[in-house]
A and B are shown apart, each in its own frame.
Chain A
Amino acid sequence: QLQLQESGPGLVKPSETLSLSCTVSGVSISSTSYCWGWIRQPPGKGLEWIGNICFSRNTHYNPSLQSRLTISVDTSKNQFSLKLRSVTAADTAVFYCASRMEWLQYFDFWGQGTLVSVSS
């Protein structure tokens, strides 16, 4: 059974870089079948898709975040990561990592989520 677990700092200062990792268990992150993504949810608000990376290394980013965003894979740790630069208070959210099969357009496995607050 595929499982995902987010990790990273719970507090980031404004203008700095938010960095999160998602550890994948139950499947190799190098599997040709999977894509790995991030979705966030500001407190009390709805879900916002952030971006995906697939085995083929195709990446797709939310256009509203693209200029500040990098999603990458670390095969040695079976992890994928998110870096969001120049954060502001508006980036405060619960961040979820999620997975989908590359040929399917829905996210069937999710991490439990991790709250990241942006504050000085």
Chain B
Amino acid sequence: QSALTQPASVSGSPGQSITISCTGTNSDVGVYHYVSWYQQHPGKAPKLMIYDVNKRPSGVSNRFSGSKSGNTASLTISGLQAEDEAKYYCSSFTTTSTWVFGGGTKVTVL
């Protein structure tokens, strides 16, 4: 199984919106509504931010939203804040009952 494809880095100024893409195949992202997104600050464990493409766990800011079109899922962060600076990973369930992660995207708040 190949990793999902994410851009290495995305940046934006405070208050702006940014979008991170996550491209898979028709064996994972394209076939299921089971894409999740995780935020990871340096030295910390990943934190679930979005699940099932576009659902937010309790306690996660509504500035985070997710979507999917075909084999590509996206995470949008609106009203960018300094605390959003972190690495973000997408993940998808696959047709072989396994999970695959993206390579991660570093978000920088300028």
Residues of A at the B interface (CB closer than 8 Å) are: 39, 46-49, 60-64, 96, 104-108, 110-113
A46 to B38, CA, bound (A): 12
Most A C-beta atoms less than 10 A away, residue of B3, B45, B51, B98: B45
Q: Are B45 and A46 in contact (CB under 8 A)?
A: no
Question: Besides the contacts A49-B99, A106-B52, A107-B36, what 15 more A-B pairs have beta carbons closer than 8 Å?
Answer: A39-B46, A46-B101, A46-B102, A46-B103, A46-B104, A47-B89, A49-B98, A62-B98, A96-B46, A105-B36, A105-B51, A108-B57, A110-B45, A110-B46, A112-B44
Judge if B74 is at the interface, Cβ distance under 8 Å: no
Inter-chain contacts of A113 with B (CB < 8 A): 45
Q: How large is the interface on B (under 10, 10 to 19, 20 to 34, 35 or more residues)?
A: 20 to 34
Contact A104 B51 (CB under 8 A): yes
B residues within 8 A CB of A64? Answer: 1
Q: Give the distance to chain B from A4, nearest Cβ to Cβ, in Å.
A: 9
| A96 close to B93 (CB less than 8 A) | no
Determine the chain B residues whose CB is within 8 A of the CB of A49 once the complex forms: 91, 98-101
CB distance from B50 to the nearest CB of A (A): 9
B88 nearest CB across to chain A (Å): 11
Give bound CA distance, A48 to B99, whole Å.
Answer: 9
